[in-house]
Amino acid sequence: MLITITGKANATPSDNPRADEIYRLFDSGEFLPEERVNKLLAEYKSTLAANDSIRQQLHIRLTCWNLPAETPEQLNAAVDYANEYLKIYSQPSPSLIQVDLQYCKAWYLHYLNKNNVLFDDLNTAIENAYLLEDPRLIADGRSIRGTILSYKGHFSAALEDLIKAQNLYDTLNTPYWANVNLGELANTYRRFGDAKTALKYQLKIEQYYRKNKQLFAATQINTDIAYSLEELGQYQQAIDRFKQSHAFWLNEKEPAAAANMSVNIGGNLIKLRRFTQAQKQLEQAEKFITSNNNGSYGYLNLYLAEVHHQLGQHKIALTYTQKAQSAFRESENTRGLNQALMLTSTIYEALAQWSDAYYSLSAYVDSHLALDKQSISDRNAEMQTRFDTNKIQSENEWLVQRDKDKEQQLQILQRNEQMQIIIIVLVAIILAIVSVFAYRQVMRKQQFKALALTDELTNLSNRRDTYTQGQRFLKTAKQSGKPFSIISFDADHFKKVNDNLGHEIGDKVLIKLASICSSMMRETDVVGRVGGEEFLILLPNIDKQQAIDIATRLIDTIANYDWCQISPNLVQTVSAGVASYSNETELSPLLLKADKALYSAKAAGRNCVKAE
């Protein structure tokens, strides 16, 4: 059961500590049994005042995410619940509850295998999250979309969404949801064929869950680790992992989930050619897995068919392949269907039923061709979206028609006043030449201006541009009375990086520092490189305490970054100084305050924030 809540709870008419405590419990990601979920939701609702509209809406959102979702009937009921409240809260638009209910609805449609009908509403919801400027809503939406895109095999688009979500979760300091998203990133790498990278992330996530005693989440990631080990051909290690998950689900009195693990164990035993043991595992699972669970039911029957075929029981094997094919068709699992069709053909061959073997093999080929065709169609759709070919085609038609109109006009002019045509053409040529020169001159000036204001290495604002914008922000703060803060930070012990690892590695460190910092700031903020390893952040409309919080998140993010990706054993931290506008008339005194704070941070042992 997915337990999530997006967006921040805004200020409410009255304090309600118990309701807020329940909300935080749900948002923490802690596993809650269904009975306790229902009790907590009922208690949450009972504590709410009639005029507490914000918490009333939070209750609706919590309920949506925590509805029963085990059967198709329950999933459809959950979709109906979301639709009912989307009608009620259709205005104003966009709103937090509207966006979150769209996410909730999309997630249930995903589990109903209705992935082709959910993306329009999901994409609109994510766009509205950006309009609301709610980073948590944006992170949740892109994480959900990335997860679904990964499931559908659109890995590049999935990675783009999941990586953006990861940066936001890290910035928001939500470790549980950051690890959930990181798990989906790992799954995407595994599906993309990079199980080794997936395993590296999964082991890190598992360590976090076990350290925080989140056993339910740890078991889920343990299962993902087993899948990665299976992809890497480490079948016995995968079996051991699946057995751990199997024991957990039995202890939790979840026999269906335990049976799913038995199916996975059986599949790996088959790969190790331990068919008798595999049969025992699969027949135990057969008691609990029904046709409603298309995914596991399909693989259960596929593996049972393989076992009976290997044991020479070919006719029994055929009955299982038919069940597997039906389940895979129902769940639109083309990969599983192809495996079932190929096995069916092999079984018919063993029975010397050559005609049936041929037809099964033909169906396998047709399925593969359909998959290839779908893949090409998906790529064409992606290209259509990216390059908007319909718009280009429409513009081309307009250009052709425009040329025809001009040609008719020229013919009329030629018949009436040929000399006038010559003059017009000459003027047009001169104007075109002048326009080309003027355009080139403007572009050249813009390019020179950009080069003059941009740091060549990091593509940040350079010292001159940063100070100019800082002076402008200072003037605005003085006139408006709004706060203005700056953060001065630089790389700790950076000289050692250049001396020991070389300037090329040093440049990569500076580029990464710039990238991390830029990804954490607002569009209205300015990040500049003002010296070798020195950076300056301009924060309009931000007071001192907010600036300290931002600087603290920045140094924590940098300290926790895996710098080994740049150079083995590399560890990099930064120190930061914060200063806020009081009554300065020039930027220089404010810079001196920030520098003084930075020196204090250095003196305090580095990798910390000080403020003046």
* pLDDT digit string, tens, across residues 357-369: 777 777 767 665 6
Work out the pLDDT band at 114, boundaries 50, 70, 90: confident
Q: Which amino acid is at 412?
A: I
What is the radius of gyration, based on Cα positions, of the chain?
31
238-262 average pLDDT score: 90
User: At residue 448, does pLDDT exceed 60?
Assistant: no
User: At residue 5, does pLDDT exceed 70?
Assistant: no
* pLDDT digit string, tens, across residues 500-533: 989 899 999 999 999 999 999 999 899 999 888 8
Q: Are strands 574-580 and 484-491 parallel, antiparallel or unpaired?
A: antiparallel
Question: Vertex 170, ends 167 and 171: CA angle to 5°?
Answer: 85
Number of H-type helices and E-type strands within the chain: 25, 5
Work out the pLDDT band at 285, boundaries 50, 70, 90: confident
pLDDT value at position 509?
A: 93
Work out the pLDDT band at 447, boundaries 50, 70, 90: low
User: At residue 406, does pLDDT exceed 70?
Assistant: no
pLDDT value at position 517?
A: 93
pLDDT value at position 413?
A: 58
The secondary structure element, H or E, covering residue 77 is helix 72-88
Please tell me which residue, 252 or 408, carries the higher pLDDT value.
252
Sequence-separated (6 or more) residues with CB below 8 Å from residue 571 = 563
Contact call for residues 31 and 217 (beta carbons, < 8 A): yes
Sequence-separated (6 or more) residues with CB below 8 Å from residue 464 = 452, 453
pLDDT value at position 19?
A: 86
Work out the pLDDT band at 159, boundaries 50, 70, 90: confident
Q: Residue 373 to residues 192, 336, 367, 380, 475: CA-CA distances in angstroms?
A: 19, 17, 10, 10, 61
Work out the pLDDT band at 126, boundaries 50, 70, 90: very high
* Count of CA atoms in the C-beta half-sphere (13 A) of 93: 13
* pLDDT digit string, tens, across residues 78-103: 999 999 999 999 888 889 999 999 99
User: At residue 380, does pLDDT exceed 50?
Assistant: no
Question: In whole numbers, what is the pLDDT of the chain averaged over residues?
Answer: 82
* pLDDT digit string, tens, across residues 559-599: 999 999 999 989 999 999 999 999 888 988 999 899 999 99
pTM (two decimals):
0.51
The secondary structure element, H or E, covering residue 485 is strand 484-491
Q: Residue 325 to residues 283, 301, 305, 342: CA-CA distances in angstroms?
A: 19, 9, 11, 11
Work out the pLDDT band at 6, boundaries 50, 70, 90: very low
Question: Running DSSP on this structure, what letter comes out for residue 47?
Answer: T
CB-count burial class (<10 Å; 0-12, 13-18, 19+) for 36 = exposed
pLDDT value at position 443?
A: 58
Q: Which amino acid is at 535?
A: F
543-554 average pLDDT score: 94
Question: Which two tokens mark 481?
Answer: 């009375």
Contact call for residues 81 and 64 (beta carbons, < 8 A): yes
Contacts 24+ apart (CB under 8 A), 560-563: 560/170, 561/512, 561/516, 563/509, 563/512
548-553 average pLDDT score: 95
Q: Which amino acid is at 577?
A: G
**Alpha-carbon gap, residue 608 to 497, rounded angstroms:** 19
